[in-house]
Structure 1
Amino acid sequence: MSKQEILNTRINEEVSDFIASRKSLMLSSIQPDGTPYASYAPFAIGDDCLYVLLSEIALHAVNLQHNPAASVLIIEDEDSAGELFARKRVNYSMQAALIELESEAWYQGIDILEARHGERIRNLSQLADFRLFRLSPEGGRFVKGFGRAFTLAGNSLAGEEVSHMRDGHKKRDDIKA
């Protein structure tokens, strides 16, 4: 196995384990006037996607229906982080798809969310204003700490191809004009 294959496998596993350890994500969507809007939502992991159940009363659901482009951040808790300035995190560029109510995909997504978050999901899914979205990655970045950042290329949560970002922080004196 090549060094690149070993790196891909190791980082893929770390990303998958990290995502599985978190239950909510930060979601950035785009408002109709083009301004960004940040929010959060509980999520579940599907087949190389994330599922979120959002109320149409909430701006993020309205935004995703008008513009499917989104950014997702899944981040280590402040209280358990060893270094506040270098919290472990993964972020993705995503495309959101609204899942048709009561379709096979709807029931599959609701089942996945319920398995992760319990009966509340089933109850919320019965309310008329709740919509299920599938968030599909279009690349991302996994940060484990200072000097340990990785680009995740491809359309999978763990990254189809991983590359270590080696152009890191530089002291001001080291930068030539």
Structure 2
Amino acid sequence: MGPSGEQVGIVRIEEALRLAADADLDLVEVAPEAKPPVARLMDYGKFKYESAMKARDARRNQANTQLKEIRFRLKIDDHDFETKKGHVVRFLEGGDKVKVMIMFRGREQSRPEMGARLLQRLAEDIAEYGTVESQPRLDGRNMTMVIGPLKKKTQAKSEQRRRREAREAEAAEAEKPTAE
């Protein structure tokens, strides 16, 4: 194959090496198992650089989901529940998974159904932000449940970045001295 991808046809190795030297390019074997093997004329350094840049961009755009953890007590007050629910919503909007844990103490351990009811209430309250990925289960003295976000992480992160940039622009605008 030629440098721009056009088919050159079946060429002897010596001829292909001469074409590569004349064009100041490299001869790279693309498909060694093919009969006859397929080679391409290209600038190999440029090819390596472009593929490294593509890989870097792919890593940058990849969603790195974290697992955040929120702990509840069985006898939590309504306002405290709402506050912690707000934290869970914020994590889900940020695109992160949330591990919700209820810690049982003393005689509370004999009432795991109350913990399951509390986790079910939380799951119903945040249904528009996330879904339950693992149902409540008892692990020793703790009951855990994992909730995952509804939106894709990249959408959530870009939306969060857009909001932050808008806030920073407003702050910069407010700090700017006005000419009177």
Higher relative contact order (CA 8 A, sep 6+): 1
* TM-score (normalizing by structure 2): 0.31
Which structure's CA Rg is the greater one?
A: 2
Q: By percentage of residues, which structure has more helix?
A: 2
* TM-score (normalizing by structure 1): 0.32
Q: By percentage of residues, which structure has more strand?
A: 1
